[in-house]
Amino acid sequence: MGAVLGVNIDHVATVRQARYAKNSSSINVEPDPVEAALAAERGGAIGITAHLRQDRRHVVDHDIFRLKEAIGTKLNLEMGNSPEIVAIALKVLPADVCLVPESREEVTTEGGLDCIAHRAALESTLKAMRDAGIRVSLFIDPEPGQIEAAASLEAPVVELHTGAYAEASGVARDAELARLIAAARLASEAGIQVNAGHGLNYVNVKPILALPKLVELNIGHSIVSRSLFVGMEQAAREMAALLA
């Protein structure tokens, strides 16, 4: 068993924005998220994930367009379900979009999307993406109700939120892993592709491979952190080897 690796390059852009937030599209601005994405591909990534937030705190619009043109694998655009970002996605036409909840107060994405409460808004976005040939993934907590809602929305993919698992230890971690396994089984039985991500690193990722029918893991912070010491290509290669 194994899974393929998608690399999230958001935090490469975070470092860039720390110095160049006012002129991030100028020449000679570093580090370049596109260069990081290409290195991650050389290391074995089968896709590049980037989150275009409404507040543009890291990845910005021109990053998304440049990534779409430059990478050789697939672009997975992580995004909140806002009209502005939906419109950009329909211009960029990434292979995948992953719909996530978004709050300006959060440091990073916290918790999964509530597909039950936001069903009507999600339904129209899924239709627009489907009509444009874009595959939609819903980033959800590993809860039966959310899986059922994703199935009723005819979402082709769910990305199970592994944050609670990543933050737990001992018996609590075992319980979270069991919850993820049950959710993955339920999703696969409903004909939905199972992806997962959030908080995964080189230490805690191996048990996640026990998820039934797991296809793809999207990992960012840990790989970007490791790349400071070994480079992005090697950091991605090490993670891809763990998943294989």
The question of whether 35 is a catalytic residue gets the answer: no
Contacts of 6 (CB under 8 A, 6+ apart): 45, 46, 47, 48, 49, 76, 195, 197, 216, 217, 218, 219
Q: What is the pLDDT of residues 19-71, one digit of tens each?
A: 998 887 777 889 999 999 999 999 999 999 999 999 999 999 999 999 999 99
Compute CA 189 distance to the chain's CA centroid, rounded to the nearest angstrom: 22
**How would you classify residue 143: left for phi > 0, otherwise alpha for psi between -120 and 50, otherwise beta?**
beta
Which residue range forms the structural domain that includes residue 149? 4-243
Total count of domains within the chain: 1
Mean pLDDT (the chain, rounded) = 95
The secondary structure of residue 168, as a DSSP letter, is: -
The tokens for 154 are 């005819």
Q: What is the pLDDT of residues 177-209, one digit of tens each?
A: 999 999 999 999 999 999 999 999 999 999 999
pLDDT band at 104 (very low <50, low <70, confident <90, very high): low
Task: Name the active-site residue from 11, 41, 58, 78.
Answer: 78
What integer pLDDT is reported at residue 234 of this predicted model? 98
Distance, in Å, from the CA atom of 112 to the CA atom of 205, rounded to the nearest integer, reads: 19
Distance, in Å, from the CA atom of 52 to the CA atom of 68, rounded to the nearest integer, reads: 13
Q: What is the pLDDT of residues 109-135, one digit of tens each?
A: 568 999 999 999 999 999 999 999 999
CATH number, residue 130: 3.20.20.70
- Contact between 126 and 167 (Cβ < 8 Å): no
The question of whether 78 is a catalytic residue gets the answer: yes
Distance, in Å, from the CA atom of 76 to the CA atom of 54, rounded to the nearest integer, reads: 17
What integer pLDDT is reported at residue 105 of this predicted model? 53
What integer pLDDT is reported at residue 28 of this predicted model? 80
The question of whether 62 is a catalytic residue gets the answer: no
Task: Name the active-site residue from 11, 58, 161, 198.
Answer: 198
Separation in Å, CA 227 to CA 12, 39, 58: 10, 10, 18
Distance, in Å, from the CA atom of 81 to the CA atom of 39, rounded to the nearest integer, reads: 30
- pTM for the model stands at 0.94
Percentages of the chain per state (helix, strand, coil), in multiples of 5: 45, 15, 35
Distance, in Å, from the CA atom of 42 to the CA atom of 232, rounded to the nearest integer, reads: 9
Task: Name the active-site residue from 51, 58, 143, 233.
Answer: 51
What integer pLDDT is reported at residue 24 of this predicted model? 78
